[in-house]
Structure 1
Amino acid sequence: MWQSDAELFLEELIRLEGRGSHTQDTCFCGSDEPSLYRCKDCHGVELVCRQCVLYTHQWQPCHRIEHWNGSFFQKISLKSLGLRIQLGHRIGLRCNKPTPASNDDFVIVDVNGVHAVGLDFCGCQTAQVHVTQLLQVHLFPATTVKPKTTATFRALEHFQILSFKSKVSAFEFYQTVVRLTDNTGIHITKACFFYSCLLDNY
């Protein structure tokens, strides 16, 4: 059965490497911006403009985005597109006194990779401490002093179940996440203390 359908599967897999059937030059939102972006983690492969990809990913800041450069798709970070994660306020609202993470160098480890993100803590008078702000959005900090690296609760739960069922070590899990980020080993986003965070908490 598979042999008779092999050509169909191959054709569709090759189509997904390029723009596929999505050859429109403008975004469905009607803006004048070109539709050059797609998300590897969202359902569907529609191409959208920069503004749409930023708007929809306020709720999914750890998704992996690709940019069509005219010849092929390249990985691009939401941070480089201008997405900022604002803590201490509802999604979509900006703080009057945002405090960027130290050196604007913040890393989130999720099940789909290691993500360099733009993150702002709330700097209002009534703001909670930074660790509390992180925990309130399901981010587990690797340290309580000037945290710059976190793991999502989802990543920690995923590791916990894997370690129970298949005896995966923290090192093996971390290396898998790193490979999902960049399987070539050339561009590795640093995730300091994450490995020790896994060992200390699970």
Structure 2
Amino acid sequence: MFEWRQHRDEYAAELLRHHGCGDFGDSSCAKCLKASGVIRCKRCHGRQLYCGPCAVEIHKENPLHVVEEWDGRCFKYTSLTKLGLRIEFGHADCIRPHLVDDFVVLDVGAVHVVNISYCGCTQAFKRGPLRTQLLRGRWYPATHEFPRTAATFDCLDFFLAKTLQAKTTMYDFYTALERLTDGTGGSSLNRYAEFLRMVRQYRHLKMLVRGGRGQCNASGLPRNRMSSVSAPPGKPSE
């Protein structure tokens, strides 16, 4: 720490540098080189500035990234949803999609409000209902009928690791997500009850899979009969 104190001002200056445009002070978009570059992603490496349409285009595979918008003086929070991004489930370019707006999803680092679409065309029988399409996209739905809230598998796995290693409570974890989303603590998105339910279900399912109950036939019975039987512990030798 004593050696680091000699470089403290340098570190502080670099932290403050992220509040501005850094090396990307010119106003052109880094992708199309035509429109003004005012959007910056907080998670992408590089920190380049993009116009709104280009930011949406390059984030189709990373729709839960957090973005900021430069207003001429500072960066302010915005979202890919406000820029026009709609997350597709089922398959891309569906000719008859079902649209769902203001869908809430909990991810590692933030609570997002997004617009999604899921397959409603002739391939829907292959894709399944919305809950199935969400699960195949690694989003766990909060309810099995008409879900409007979900949590990513990454978020649930991260919580399970935190509660195992650090004994973090569900309330503390969820509150931390809200703080990361809105530092003022005034978020109107209260999905704590839904988060409790999703964690309990997800943990239960993980235990079933680890116990060999994942492979089932159409009737729901385990294919491996031995997987449903607990073997008694061996008798200690005298």
Aligned to 2:93: 94
**Of the two structures, which has the highest relative contact order with CA contacts closer than 8 Å and spacing of 6 or more?**
1
Q: Radius of gyration: which is bigger?
A: 2
Aligned to 2:113: 116
Aligned to 1:129: 129
Deviation at 1:188, TM superposition (A): 3.5
Aligned to 1:54: 56
The one of 51, 71, 74 equivalent to 1:72 is: 74
Give, in whole Å, the separation in 2 of the partners of 1:17 and 1:39. Answer: 13
CA RMSD of superposed structures (Å): 1.4
Identity of aligned residues (%): 36
TM-score by length of 2: 0.79
Give, in whole Å, the separation in 2 of the partners of 1:76 and 1:164. Answer: 34
Unaligned runs of 5+ in 2: 204-238
Give, in whole Å, the separation in 1 of the partners of 2:38 and 2:190. Answer: 28
SS at match of 2:106: strand
SS at match of 1:118: strand
Give, in whole Å, the separation in 2 of the partners of 1:179 and 1:196. Answer: 21
Aligned to 2:233: none
Deviation at 1:42, TM superposition (A): 1.2
Flag the 1:32–1:189 CA change in 2: closer, same or farther, 3 A.
farther
The one of 4, 8, 11 equivalent to 1:9 is: 11
Contact 2:32 2:54 in 1 (8 A): no
Count how many residue pairs are aligned between Structure 1 and Structure 2: 197
Name the aligned partner's letter for residue 36 of structure 1: V
Task: Single out whichever of 7-16 and 109-118 deviates more from structure 2.
Answer: 7-16
Contact 1:111 1:155 in 2 (8 A): yes
Aligned to 1:26: 28
SS at match of 2:68: strand
Deviation at 1:177, TM superposition (A): 0.9
TM-score by length of 1: 0.92
Give, in whole Å, the separation in 1 of the partners of 2:31 and 2:90. Answer: 30
Task: Single out whichever of 154-163 and 1-10 deviates more from structure 2.
Answer: 1-10
Deviations 1:74-102 (A, max 9, x none): 1101111000011111xxx321111112x
Give, in whole Å, the separation in 2 of the partners of 1:40 and 1:29. Answer: 17
Contact 1:182 1:188 in 2 (8 A): no
Deviations 1:67-124 (A, max 9, x none): 00111101101111000011111xxx321111112xx120110011100001011111
Aligned to 2:164: 164
SS at match of 2:82: helix
Name the aligned partner's letter for residue 108 of structure 1: V
Give, in whole Å, the separation in 1 of the partners of 2:145 and 2:73. Answer: 44
Deviations 1:17-51 (A, max 9, x none): 11122111111223421000111111121111212
Moved >6 Å (runs of 4+): none
Give, in whole Å, the separation in 2 of the partners of 1:69 and 1:195. Answer: 38
